[in-house]
Structure 1
Amino acid sequence: MSYLSSNITAPPFVLADKSTTEFPRYWISHPDLFVAPAAQSQSDPAKRSLAVLKWFLASLRGQQYAGRKPSEGIKKPLNAFLGELFIAEIGLEGEETRLVSEQVSHHPPVTACYLWNQKHGVRAEGYTRQEITFSGSVNIQQIGHAVLTVEKYDEDYLIPLPNVKVKGILSGGPYPELNGSYKIVSSSGYVAEVDFSGKGVLGFGGERNHVKAKIHDKDGKVVYTVEGSWTEKLTFKNASGTTIEIYDCDTAAVSEARTAPLPDQDPWESRVAWHGVIDSIHKGDMQGVANAKSMLENAQRELRKHPETSEEAWETLFFRREKEHAVASRLMEVAGTKLEADKTCGVWRFDAEKAGKLEKPWRGGMEPASKY
């Protein structure tokens, strides 16, 4: 999920050319890593947990930098509007990993996503709300979770959504740091404990984007460790301390997301709805950015004034609201966390039956920026 979203207004020149609904694509920017757990032996759940940890860590750079190089800094993504969608696929033909992302709530902002690879039987679904505070840095607390499922082994993994601190704002060189400790919990009994740290106060001590993790079984025996930088290199070791891999996050191949051509997309899809803003950003036309952005946002405010299109009456397209998620709750007990459905307007699950009945245009003649 993105490093910065929600209710922060930014001048046009610091805006990214994509909305927050597009950020789940970075979970699958390395499609080979996303499906790697399914390729492991049935008798080796420890290696599957290692594969999940590697995928998780390798995804962080793209998510936090929005696909940019760390040297290029970060920009603020566009705030998603209610009902906004991003639909894409990544990977070779016949091996595609697909994605559906939908803004299911605006107050508070909640983005839900579903990612799946049909051939390899790997899928993930999750949702997040971001709470943002300021204290010299921008602090983003992520509320929500994701669950990765490897169908072949009927195995589930609780995937955490790390909190983010955007540092360097006062010096003019903002960059993201992940902070805190998290657990990737597998239904097989293995747990990956992940600790993030970064530069100390005023840049003294510590290393930027540092991470240290270990995987242990249900008895606490450590089987794998990893340490390094989630923007540079990660060193993986086995239980005896022997290096088994050095993964270079900087040079690893990244697959681009493919979407339908703009004329074939639905009006509620992100790149169509924000086309005027995105086009102006690419042209360096800051007044055009401001004008196009205001037009869409004003139209959305007008739409919400009508009872049948208010946020309270809004019906999602691809996701359904539930009160509980048994699998997530069971894994969260091990992680020492819990569902906070009251903070995310419910528990959001992908609704395959509802999605299978949809036909374009998905909302009839209603468009996100049309006059009601």
Structure 2
Amino acid sequence: MTSISQNRSTLKEFLASIATIRGDLSNITAPPFVLATQSTVEIPAYWAEHPSLFSAPALEADSSKRSLAVLRWYLTSLKAQQYGGRSEKEGVKKPLNAFLGEVFLASWCSPENGKTQLVSEQVSHHPPVTACYLWNDEAGVRAEGYTLQEISFNGSVNVKQIGHAILHVDKWDEDYLVPLPNVKVKGILSGTPYPELSGNYHIVSSSGFISEINFSGKGFLSGKKNSVDAMLYKDGDTKNPLYTVSGQWNDKMTFFEADGKEIEMIDMDTLKPTPMNVDALDQQDPWESRKAWAGVIDALNQGDMQRTVKEKSKLEEAQRELRKIEESKGRTWGALFFQNTATTDPVFEKLAKPIGEQLNSDKTVGVWKFNHEKWKNGIQRPFRGTMQPEGVELYNE
């Protein structure tokens, strides 16, 4: 693959051009050599690459330790999410902009945890909203969420995430509000861009425990890249944390009890992911992510930037034509696996109250929920009949 460092001059020209643009850059066309070989609709898969950690809260009888298990799952998912599953040496690359209706389906299986499944779908294009549902029926753990990403540039690429996830544990009838952190991509011109998280976030449990997470990075004179400190406390008792965490979310993190006794140290380099199962391309629906982007992905893997542009443009032009047809016929696009029938969410409102978070459903075109009935009844391939994302028979008359 062609690296960013090999194209530094072209990258400088691109950055100079977007520096003059004010507002959201989510739909800006980036140079092909900065593109990842997966779409934004695939990124939620990294929440599930350690199924035993995802299912762990269901196995814990103590409510404070369940909250600690959720915090552990959250922190250990960050590295793969931010690097898109690549090594740090490869740096950060920009995921492909998911097109409306794009779907990603995956599963993870193990004797200890049974089957964990994921459905992810691009449910809105303007604004770009991705919704996902992750679950393990054997463990009785499920999470659903959605995000709108707003991108800006001020020397670094800033990704603001608007949205959230809610994790539910059936056995304890317990909910957790899970935040989606903002990201700043630094080191772009050096040829090895890396993600930095910053700010304070909270995981809130319906059982009354809150995990407060503080992300920080390397400054001019002090600090370490990708640093994280967290404390877990009973709501209203921030001065007496039950557990604390410190370290770097891309390297090692140490978990402590209230008295300072070490519980465990997690080394992200040795925490191996469970293999992800995705159907072979010849079995996938045309609207499934890897099938739809197959030409682009192959061109990127071959380092063929000219073919990357050609394949990418073909799909994007067809999508623009589809939007024009919808507008001319007065048709409204319908998501396959999700619905946005509400602008409020009682579970979110209850969990968010202690930390003063807002829903912002106006920005995300509603509150997106998984359509269990559709999934239970089964949606057979082809998902959308003869209509395909590259514009072959876009709509039946």
2:51 is equivalent to residue 34 of structure 1: no
> How is 1:235-254 mapped onto 2 (pairs within 5 angstroms)?
235-254=254-273
Supply the AA of the counterpart residue of 1:210. Answer: S
Supply the AA of the counterpart residue of 2:176. Answer: Y
Over 3 Å counting, the alpha-carbon distance change for 1:285 and 1:338 in structure 2 is same
> Which of 84, 102, 125 lines up with 1:84 in the alignment?
102
SS in 2 for 1:205: coil
Asked if 2 retains the 8 angstrom alpha-carbon contact of 1:304 and 1:311, the reply is: no
Asked if 1 retains the 8 angstrom alpha-carbon contact of 2:246 and 2:253, the reply is: yes
User: Matched residues in 2 for 1:352 and 1:37: separation?
Assistant: 23
SS in 1 for 2:75: helix
2:39 aligns to what? 19
Asked if 2 retains the 8 angstrom alpha-carbon contact of 1:106 and 1:311, the reply is: no
> Which of 118, 135, 141 lines up with 2:160 in the alignment?
141
TM-score (structure 2 length as normaliser): 0.89
2:249 is equivalent to residue 230 of structure 1: yes
User: Matched residues in 1 for 2:149 and 2:134: separation?
Assistant: 20
CA drift of 1:5 comes to 8.6
User: Matched residues in 2 for 1:279 and 1:310: separation?
Assistant: 35
SS in 1 for 2:133: strand
2:306 is equivalent to residue 290 of structure 1: no
CA drift of 1:338 comes to 1.3
Over 3 Å counting, the alpha-carbon distance change for 1:76 and 1:312 in structure 2 is farther
Asked if 2 retains the 8 angstrom alpha-carbon contact of 1:136 and 1:170, the reply is: no
Supply the AA of the counterpart residue of 1:327. Answer: V
User: Matched residues in 2 for 1:333 and 1:199: separation?
Assistant: 32
Asked if 1 retains the 8 angstrom alpha-carbon contact of 2:90 and 2:192, the reply is: no
CA drift of 1:308 comes to 6.6
CA drift of 1:19 comes to 0.4
CA drift of 1:173 comes to 2.2
SS in 2 for 1:96: strand
Question: For residues 139-192 of structure 1, what are the alpha-carbon distances to aligned partners after superposition, in whole Å with 9 as ceiling and x for unaligned?
Answer: 111000000001100000000000110111233221100011001000000000
User: Matched residues in 1 for 2:331 and 2:199: separation?
Assistant: 35
User: Matched residues in 1 for 2:372 and 2:132: separation?
Assistant: 12
Over 3 Å counting, the alpha-carbon distance change for 1:189 and 1:112 in structure 2 is same
User: Matched residues in 1 for 2:325 and 2:278: separation?
Assistant: 32
1:111 aligns to what? 130
Asked if 2 retains the 8 angstrom alpha-carbon contact of 1:308 and 1:314, the reply is: no
Question: 4+ residue stretches of structure 1 with deviation over 4 A?
Answer: 308-312
Q: Structure 2: where are the runs of 5+ without partners?
A: 1-23
SS in 1 for 2:242: strand
> How is 1:213-362 mapped onto 2 (pairs within 5 angstroms)?
213-220=230-237, 221-307=240-326, 313-321=332-340, 322-357=342-377, 358-362=379-383
CA drift of 1:226 comes to 0.2
SS in 1 for 2:274: coil
User: Matched residues in 2 for 1:192 and 1:356: separation?
Assistant: 34
Aligned length: 365
1:51 aligns to what? 69
Asked if 2 retains the 8 angstrom alpha-carbon contact of 1:196 and 1:210, the reply is: yes
More deviation, 126-135/350-359: 350-359
2:223 is equivalent to residue 206 of structure 1: yes
2:29 aligns to what? 9
Over 3 Å counting, the alpha-carbon distance change for 1:208 and 1:312 in structure 2 is farther
User: Matched residues in 1 for 2:124 and 2:334: separation?
Assistant: 10
User: Matched residues in 1 for 2:329 and 2:83: separation?
Assistant: 33
Supply the AA of the counterpart residue of 1:83. Answer: G
CA drift of 1:82 comes to 0.2
Question: For residues 6-42 of structure 1, what are the alpha-carbon distances to aligned partners after superposition, in whole Å with 9 as ceiling and x for unaligned?
Answer: 323211112111000000000001111000111111x
Over 3 Å counting, the alpha-carbon distance change for 1:313 and 1:136 in structure 2 is same
Supply the AA of the counterpart residue of 2:389. Answer: P
More deviation, 223-232/71-80: 71-80
1:67 aligns to what? 85
2:388 aligns to what? 367
Supply the AA of the counterpart residue of 2:367. Answer: V
Q: Structure 1: where are the runs of 5+ without partners?
A: none
More deviation, 69-78/45-54: 69-78
User: Matched residues in 1 for 2:331 and 2:82: separation?
Assistant: 31
Asked if 1 retains the 8 angstrom alpha-carbon contact of 2:91 and 2:194, the reply is: yes
Percent identical among aligned pairs is: 57
SS in 1 for 2:177: strand
Asked if 2 retains the 8 angstrom alpha-carbon contact of 1:5 and 1:79, the reply is: no
CA drift of 1:105 comes to 0.4
User: Matched residues in 2 for 1:21 and 1:49: separation?
Assistant: 28
CA drift of 1:356 comes to 2.8
What is the aligned-residue RMSD (CA, Å)? 1.6
User: Matched residues in 2 for 1:329 and 1:250: separation?
Assistant: 37
User: Matched residues in 2 for 1:310 and 1:80: separation?
Assistant: 24
Supply the AA of the counterpart residue of 1:116. Answer: W
SS in 2 for 1:305: helix
CA drift of 1:262 comes to 1.2
Asked if 1 retains the 8 angstrom alpha-carbon contact of 2:157 and 2:184, the reply is: yes
CA drift of 1:199 comes to 1.1
User: Matched residues in 1 for 2:331 and 2:356: separation?
Assistant: 32
2:191 is equivalent to residue 172 of structure 1: yes
